[in-house]
């Protein structure tokens, strides 16, 4: 018998008949069928071991735990416990009560509760019998048949076997492995038995150090291992969802298909009339094509400056001083305008060592700047701009810098310069 496996011997129950015989010091000194009672040095025959026929009428066949333990101790064993109607003595017959305890595996006593708990990992139940703790049952065995391939209790299992090993061999595992249903496994990295038998990891997890973890580069998010660098529902962090028309790129939600993020919305700057060419550039009078607002398709032509327009010219009629201006309002049929072109004539141009810097505004929006050169009779200019709503337009022509001292001035022709809005 292996060291550490519970030894089990039968002793007579209190009140049961025994047959005393020769003196002894060990069981081998006694006749067949008898045991040596070391405390008295006499052999005895355990009546209950032979059945009810040898029992007397004063309670034979019933095992009393306290009496059983006392009888075993008195007989030189480490103690005793009831297994059904049988009193089971534990330990060696030459060990006294003082030698019993957890530090003496050779004097271990079969405890029914502990026996059953030790058999549980094998899917079986434990029962204390004369030969010690026996594991019974299992998915492939009769519930009442002992399993020789499972040893429980305080015993140390010595003989190893695999799942296909013969059933009459005891099960053991190499160092660092644990016996689980199906065989010996390393619970520190086995995905089906991670940290403990039967604790299976998800299919997207790995077992590392006895814990189910996501593989390197993936993050646990709501019960799944995800790549937060590319997941559109966990972009950069768990729960960060990218909206419609966006994808997760390097952990950030980005617009796709050449679109641009304008105020939190992905748009096409080439065609979006609310963001034509740039975010916030709204087309007021036509579609957006190629990033430019199309005009309404019509045009309006008029003279400016004209005699009915207002203005301020410090050296009237000569423009040279900063702030000099002409301004006039025109009513048209255009619902909006996106460009203006004009030819600005003059009656006199006295510029010789400087230019006259001018600015054009329509309905308060600056649409362009230009310079009137020396000696020229006229200047032609054209400007495009984001749509300006009509049909009424106020045009302002203003000097933005005073001409250098003694470098001349310009007197514009009134009622001769034609302007066209489109």
| pLDDT tens track for 367-385 | 999 999 999 999 999 999 9
Within-domain flag for 232: yes
**Among 187, 213, 239, which residue terminates a domain?**
213
Within-domain flag for 345: yes
**Among 90, 109, 128, which residue terminates a domain?**
109
Query: Would you list the DSSP string of 191-232?
Result: TTSSSSTT-PPPTT-EEETTEEEPPTT-EEETTEEE-TTT-S
User: What mean pLDDT is reported for the chain?
Assistant: 77
3-state secondary structure of 257: coil
Same domain, 166 and 180: no
The predicted structure's pLDDT at residue 328 = 97
Same domain, 358 and 263: no
The predicted structure's pLDDT at residue 10 = 39
- Give whole-number Cα distances, 16 to 76, 82, 145, in Å: 19, 15, 29
Within-domain flag for 2: no
> Whose CA is closest to 285, among 421, 418, 419?
421
Cα separation, 241 vs 231, whole angstroms = 8
Instruction: Provide the residue range defining the domain that includes 226.
Output: 218-256
Which of 15-24, 242-251, 324-333 has the lowest average pLDDT? 15-24
* 183-187: long-range pairs with CB below 8 Å, 24+: 184/160
Within-domain flag for 3: no
Backbone angles phi, psi at 52, to 5 degrees: -70, -20
Extract the tokens encoding 321. 């001083």
Cα separation, 295 vs 283, whole angstroms = 9
* Residue with tokens 């005393």, as numbered in its chain: 20
The domain spanning residue 371 has which CATH number?
A: 2.60.120.260
Cα separation, 358 vs 200, whole angstroms = 81
pLDDT at residue 295 is higher than 60: yes
Same domain, 413 and 370: yes
| pLDDT band at residue 107 under the 50/70/90 scheme | very low
Count of domains in the chain?
6
Same domain, 324 and 406: yes
Cα separation, 162 vs 182, whole angstroms = 8
Same domain, 252 and 336: no
Same domain, 313 and 381: yes
Same domain, 229 and 200: no
Within-domain flag for 362: yes
Cα separation, 340 vs 362, whole angstroms = 9
Within-domain flag for 231: yes
Average pLDDT over residues 178-182: 87
Cα separation, 298 vs 336, whole angstroms = 9
DSSP H or E stretch at residue 71: helix 65-74
| pLDDT tens track for 277-291 | 999 988 877 788 899
Neighbours of 13 (CB within 10 A): 26
Dihedral, CA atoms, 239, 240, 243, 246, nearest 10 degrees?
-130
Cα separation, 91 vs 100, whole angstroms = 8
Same domain, 141 and 89: no
pLDDT at residue 160 is higher than 60: no
Same domain, 261 and 351: no
Same domain, 186 and 240: no
Report the alpha-carbon angle 93-98-101, nearest 5. 90
Same domain, 357 and 403: yes
Report if pTM > 0.75.
no
Within-domain flag for 388: yes
Q: In terms of DSSP bridges, do strands 378-389 and 392-399 run parallel, antiparallel, or are they unpaired?
A: unpaired
The predicted structure's pLDDT at residue 361 = 98
The predicted structure's pLDDT at residue 38 = 60
The predicted structure's pLDDT at residue 188 = 93
| pLDDT tens track for 34-57 | 777 665 677 766 544 333 333 343
Same domain, 416 and 306: yes
The predicted structure's pLDDT at residue 30 = 80
Within-domain flag for 1: no
């Amino acid at each position: 018998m292996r060291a550490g496996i519970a030894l089990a011997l039968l002793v007579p129950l209190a009140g049961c008949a025994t047959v005393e015989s020769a003196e002894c010091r060990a069981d081998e000194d006694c006749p067949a069928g008898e045991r040596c009672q070391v405390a008295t040095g006499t052999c005895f025959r355990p009546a209950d071991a032979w059945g009810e026929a040898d029992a007397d009428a004063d309670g034979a066949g019933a095992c009393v735990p306290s009496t059983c333990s006392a009888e075993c101790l008195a007989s030189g064993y480490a103690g005793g416990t009831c297994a059904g109607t049988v009193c089971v003595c534990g330990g060696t017959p030459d060990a006294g009560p003082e030698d019993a305890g957890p530090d003496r595996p050779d004097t271990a006593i079969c405890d029914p509760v502990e026996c059953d708990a030790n058999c549980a990992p094998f899917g079986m139940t434990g029962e204390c019998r004369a030969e010690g703790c026996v594991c019974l049952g299992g998915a492939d065995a009769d519930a009442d048949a002992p399993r020789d391939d499972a040893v429980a209790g305080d015993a140390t299992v010595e003989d190893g076997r695999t799942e296909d090993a013969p059933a009459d061999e005891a099960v053991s595992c190499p160092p660092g492995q644990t016996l689980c249903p199906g065989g010996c496994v390393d619970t520190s990295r086995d995905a089906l038995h991670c940290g403990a038998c039967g604790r299976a990891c998800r299919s997207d997890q790995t077992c590392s150090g006895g814990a189910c973890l996501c593989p390197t580069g993936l993050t646990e998010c709501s019960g799944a291992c995800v790549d937060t660098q590319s997941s559109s529902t966990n972009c950069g962090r768990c729960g960060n969802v990218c909206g419609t028309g966006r994808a997760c790129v390097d952990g950030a939600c980005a617009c796709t298909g050449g679109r641009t993020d304008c105020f939190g919305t992905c748009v096409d700057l080439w065609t979006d009339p609310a963001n034509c060419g740039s975010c916030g550039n709204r087309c007021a009078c036509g579609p957006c094509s190629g990033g430019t607002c199309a005009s309404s398709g019509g045009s309006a032509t008029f003279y400016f400056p004209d005699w009915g327009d207002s203005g301020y010219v410090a050296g009237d009629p000569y423009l040279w001083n900063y702030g000099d201006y002409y301004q006039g309002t025109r009513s048209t049929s255009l619902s909006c305008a996106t460009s203006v072109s004009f030819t600005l004539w003059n009656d006199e141009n006295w510029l010789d060592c400087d230019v006259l810097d001018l600015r054009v505004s329509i309905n308060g929006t600056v649409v362009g700047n230009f310079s009137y050169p020396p000696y020229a009779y006229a200047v032609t200019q054209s400007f495009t701009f984001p749509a300006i709503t009509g049909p009424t337009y106020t045009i302002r022509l203003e000097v933005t810098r005073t001409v250098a001292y003694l470098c001349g001035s310009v007197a514009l022709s009134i009622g001769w310069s034609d302007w066209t809005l489109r």
